Homo-oligomer: A and B are copies of this chain.
Amino acid sequence: MSTFLREPPSIRIAASVIVTATAVIVVGGGILIRVLDHSEYSNIWVGMWWALQTVTTVGYGDVTPKHAAGRFVGVVVMLEGIAFLTITTAVITSTFVARAERERAIEEGAEDAALEERLDARFDELERRFNRLESILGKADT
């Protein structure tokens, strides 16, 4: 699990916010629809059953708000549901993409290290040539 969670903090926060908001909307929407649309929703559990159907976009339609006030609650729950689905998909997708990216970054890091080592070897060779040159000149001097 933890290996999946190496995302920027703002994305992790987005994930927690949307999950919390959805839970609040299901519970709150379920209670509110019971209050506002008394005849259709016999208790708050029916309200929450409807709210969860709506937030997940399943929408059986076995219980639906009949009055304007209830439908207004429905609009809010639907829109939050879209936010929930799109943000959840985005969080999981970006986690997967980041994961694949990290594996590629490791490969690239290895290539960069190989290049660096090779450049160092060539610099070392040049310095050896300087040493040789100086020793030749040293002998020439004497």
Chain A interface size, under 10 / 10 to 19 / 20 to 34 / 35 or more: 35 or more
Inter-chain contacts of A38 with B (CB < 8 A): none
Q: Who on chain B is nearest to A58 by CB? A: B59
User: 1/0 per residue A79-117: CB within 8 Å of B?
Assistant: 101100111111111111111110111001101100110
Tell me the bound Cα distance from A52 to B3 in angstroms.
Answer: 32
Q: Who on chain B is nearest to A11 by CB? A: B96
The 5 closest A-B pairs by CB, nearest first: A60-B61, A58-B59, A94-B96, A90-B93, A90-B92
Taking A11-B100, A57-B57, A82-B85 as known contacts, 4 extra A-B pairs with beta carbons closer than 8 A to each other, sorted by chain A number, are A10-B99, A56-B82, A89-B90, A101-B101
